[in-house]
Amino acid sequence: MNTEEILRKLPYSPPFLFVDNLLSVDENGVTGNFTFKDNLDFYKGHFKNNPVTPGVILTEMMAQIGLVCLGIYLVGNDLTEESQIGLTSTEIEFLKPVFPNEKVTVISEKIYFRFNKLKCKVKMLNQKSEIVCEGTIAGIIKIS
> How far apart are alpha carbons 122 and 47 in whole angstroms?
26
pLDDT band of residue 35 (cuts 50, 70, 90) is very high
Is 91 in the active site?
A: no
Given the residues 1, 3, 46, 105, select the one marked as catalytic. Answer: 46
pLDDT band of residue 7 (cuts 50, 70, 90) is very high
**Residue 77 in 3-state DSSP?**
helix
Mean pLDDT of 109-137: 97
Task: State the chain's mean pLDDT as an integer.
Answer: 95
Q: Which CATH architecture has domain 3-142?
A: Roll (3.10)
Contact 72, 10 (CB under 8 A): yes
Q: Is the pTM of this model over 0.85?
A: yes
CA dihedral 73, 18, 62, 119 (to 10 degrees): -30
Reported as a single tens digit per residue, the pLDDT across 49-59 is 899 999 999 99
Reported as a single tens digit per residue, the pLDDT across 48-97 is 889 999 999 999 999 999 999 999 999 987 777 778 889 999 999 999 99
- Report pLDDT for 18: 98
Instruction: Please report which residue ranges of the chain form alpha helices under DSSP H.
Output: 3-9, 55-63, 70-75
C-alpha distance from residue 56 to each of 26, 84, 93, 128 (Å): 26, 21, 12, 22
> How far apart are alpha carbons 93 and 42 in whole angstroms?
21
> How far apart are alpha carbons 124 and 100 in whole angstroms?
16
Q: Is the dihedral of CA 101, 107, 112, 113 positive or negative?
A: positive
Mean pLDDT of 34-58: 94
